Structure 1
Amino acid sequence: MRSSRLLIAATLALGLASTSLAAAAEMLTIQLKTGNVVIELAEDVAPQHSARLKELADAGEYDNVAFHRVIDGFMAQTGDVEFGDMEDGFVPQRAGTGGSSKPDLKAEFSDVSFDRGIVGMARSQNPNSANSQFFIMLAPGTFLNGEYTVVGKVVEGMEHVDQIKLGDANNNGSVSDPDRMIKVRSGG
């Protein structure tokens, strides 16, 4: 009798553990000089974009990449792995114009609003040109709704995002001697 109760308890515990694991969202952790920022990826609304960020992070492509464009009261942009790596090939005047070796992604627009802490994919005028660059909203920007792909939201460490060095308001937020993502990996 005791062994059957233990077996039932163990089975229930395993069932609960697998349920919680299946429901767990993918996270991205960005190490900044002031602390970690944890982003919950929006796999349900932007599966291709979420997978791209995770893939580039796990390959170390985002390590040492500059926050090349930071506009007070708007957003902080990073993710240019081609020209933004501050330890390998950093080209300040070209940072923000590059991507990765992967092909551009088709837009995955949703009804998620661009509120403070939302992470969106940067792109050119072509809606289907997002590649590796992304931005974190410092304040609401609802005018972006339905125009850019929402790829996640900051769930921890927004106070560290707020401390990223601001860019020149007269130069579209371009940052001289920018802060960087020290290390980025999937997981919380």
Structure 2
Amino acid sequence: MSIFRTALMVAAVSSLSLATLNVSWADDANTMTIKLKDGEVKVELLPDLAPKHVEQIRALAKEGAYDNVVFHRVIPGFMAQTGDVQYGNTEKGFNARAAGTGGSTRPDLPAEFSKEPFVRGTVGMARAQSPNSANSQFFIMFTEYPSLNGQYTVVGKVTSGMDVVDKIKKGSEADNGAVENPDKMLKVTVGAKK
């Protein structure tokens, strides 16, 4: 009888360990790391909220499309916006005047609005006036901003490195956050570094 109980306990512990490992793998697949000049920012991507947007971000990161892309619009007390792979890449076709107007070679995405609030550390997709125009650009919130709730797609949340986000060079509030000589994302990866 005690051998049977021991076998059940070992099986239960083994199952628990495997479940823990699977959660760990899933978490790695949904972790975006953004390397900035002052350190790394970790973002937990939220595919349950926005599967199409998260898949687009993953694909662009895998291609290296986000590497060397500037934070073209940074408004103190609001957010830092980046991700224009068409015009914002300092190594490929950079155009300071057009940065923020482009996207990627991938199609725009239909809105995936949710009830997730925009608070400090929320990562949302930037878009034009049409709700279905998000493509590659995203922004990181410096603070809570309820007027964005349900109006923009939430794709993730910063889990570490908000102190690094706070150091991103700010733009002119008078010029809608446009940044002269902006900071950039040096490297963006999604998933575990192997």
**TM-score surpassing 0.5?**
yes
Mapping 1:28-177, distance limit 5 Å: 28-177=32-181
- The CA deviation at 1:12 is 4.4
Percent identical: 54
* Aligned match of 1:20: 20
Aligned residues: 186
Segment of structure 1 superposing worse, 17-26 or 151-160: 17-26
- The CA deviation at 1:14 is 4.5
Q: Following the alignment from structure 1 to structure 2, what is the Cα–Cα distance between the partners of residues 15 and 182?
A: 40
Segment of structure 1 superposing worse, 22-31 or 84-93: 22-31
Task: Output the amino acid matched with 2:126.
Answer: A
Structure 2 SS opposite 1:136: strand
Structure 1 SS opposite 2:112: coil
Deviations 1:8-35 (A, max 9, x none): 73x5455224322443331100000010
Structure 2: gaps (5+ residues):
none
Structure 2 SS opposite 1:148: coil
Q: Following the alignment from structure 2 to structure 1, what is the Cα–Cα distance between the partners of residues 67 and 113?
A: 27
Structure 1 SS opposite 2:74: strand
Deviations 1:112-148 (A, max 9, x none): 0000100000000000000000000011111000100
TM-score normalised over the length of structure 2 = 0.90
Structure 1 residues 21 and 128: alpha-carbon distance in aligned structure 2, compared to 1, 3 A threshold: farther
Structure 2 SS opposite 1:152: strand
Q: Following the alignment from structure 1 to structure 2, what is the Cα–Cα distance between the partners of residues 140 and 50?
A: 22
Q: Pick from 154, 163, 179 the counterpart of residue 183 of structure 2.
A: 179
Task: Output the amino acid matched with 1:180.
Answer: K
Segment of structure 1 superposing worse, 101-110 or 17-26: 17-26
| Coordinate RMSD, CA, aligned | 1.9
